[in-house]
Amino acid sequence: MIKVFRIKDLIKYVIKILIILLAVSLVMQVFNSENNTDKVQENGQEALFFCIDDMIPQISIDKKDKEDTSVMKFAIESELEVIDALSKNENNSGNNVSNNITNEVKNENMQIEESSNDIVEETGINKELTVTEVDNSGINPRYTDEYNGVYINNSTNYTLTQEMLTPDVEINKSKVLIYHTHTCESYTPTENYQYEASGNFRTIDLNYSVARVGDELQKYLETYGCNVIHDKTYHDYPAYNGSYSRSLITAENMVNSNQDADIVIDLHRDAIADETYGPRVKIGDEYVSQLMFVMGTDGANSEHTNWLQNLKFAIKVQQKANELYPGLFKPIILRNSEYNQHIAKGACIIEVGSTGNTLEESMGAMKYLARILEEM
């Protein structure tokens, strides 16, 4: 085991040696003749220099200075030089420690950057990207109300006040429930996503319908640690009429089994049934489908007491969307219908694209929606 001396202890040790050597030199001067005094001093000095030079190689003393300096003066000066050399060594040691600490910090920063890069790779999101182009397919969205940059198309009899629109609602975002009232809604086919249609822009193949878009949203939310339950029950097949009555049973069962969940998303595709309308935005090099909230009120059901909380939730989400990806969301549509949104304070319809959009565009939008929900 190597014993480590403190700098102060080492200095004391060297001083003791110098005192002993000095004492020996003085004794030799007393007992030797006057003619031999210079020689003894010279020999003493030579021995002393040899000892110091061996111990502290940094010290360099001129030969002429040795001859002109008394033993006492030389001892004192040598002691000072030893102390100076040791101090320099201590400073160098301190610098090395400082450099080591700096290197450790740099390494930690590199690890943090690598960890951040891993998150980007896992979610597929480059957080530096934003919307660079908005294509509304030639249709300018309408709105009647605005709250801090969030636009609302209000078709109810309510006059919306700033207090009603203020998004002061607390939402548990650690769990999200997803279902589809119109599970068979599909998109314009592409080379990579051809499907067998079961109606006009409809398919019962869950790999090509809006249910596949729900799978993507689930995947991206889970990368953020969110607990997601995604139900892909058909509610619009074999019959379309009565879809909301059937999906209500599914949604209520999900909420009853997950009473800590506030966010309940009924994921849809806009219903315009042709290929001419495909609203999209460009983020980086990727085109993705525009999104839209469709929110209900108690206009058709007086028991829907959650509708203001629902609306505040949608505004809260859209505010974050405007901050991260302005133009990704179209104006919120507010209607008299209930849309089963009485079941939770964060219940909503989100429409992903329209019939003119592709499945690729709609799936691509989900990584951005997941980030918005995570950061809202």
Q: Which CATH architecture has domain 129-375?
A: 3-Layer(aba) Sandwich (3.40)
pLDDT digits (tens, 9 = 90+) for 197-226: 999 999 999 999 999 999 999 999 999 999
Sort 355 into a burial class: Cβ within 10 Å, 0-12 / 13-18 / 19+. Answer: buried
Question: What angle is formed at CA 288 by the lines to CA 176 and CA 206, rounded to 5 degrees?
Answer: 55
Distance CA 222, CA 176 (A): 10
- pLDDT in the model for residue 302: 84
Distance CA 258, CA 178 (A): 12
- For tokens 């790999």, the residue is 207
- pLDDT in the model for residue 50: 37
- pLDDT in the model for residue 300: 87
Quick check: 169 and 313 in contact, CB under 8 A?
yes
Distance CA 362, CA 282 (A): 12
- pLDDT in the model for residue 275: 86
**Ramachandran angles phi, psi of 349, nearest 5°:** -105, 130
Measuring CA to CA, how many Å separate 43 from each of 20, 37, 39, 65, 82? 15, 10, 6, 15, 21
Token pair belonging to 165: 């629109």
Which positions of the chain have pLDDT values less than 50?
1-2, 33-69, 71, 74-76, 82-83, 86, 90, 93, 97-98, 101-102, 104-106, 108-109, 112-117
Peptide bond preceding 238: is omega within 30 degrees of 0, i.e. cis? yes
Say how many Å lie between the first and final Cα of the chain, rounded.
58
Look up the pTM and report it. 0.69
Domain ranges of the chain: 7-95, 129-375
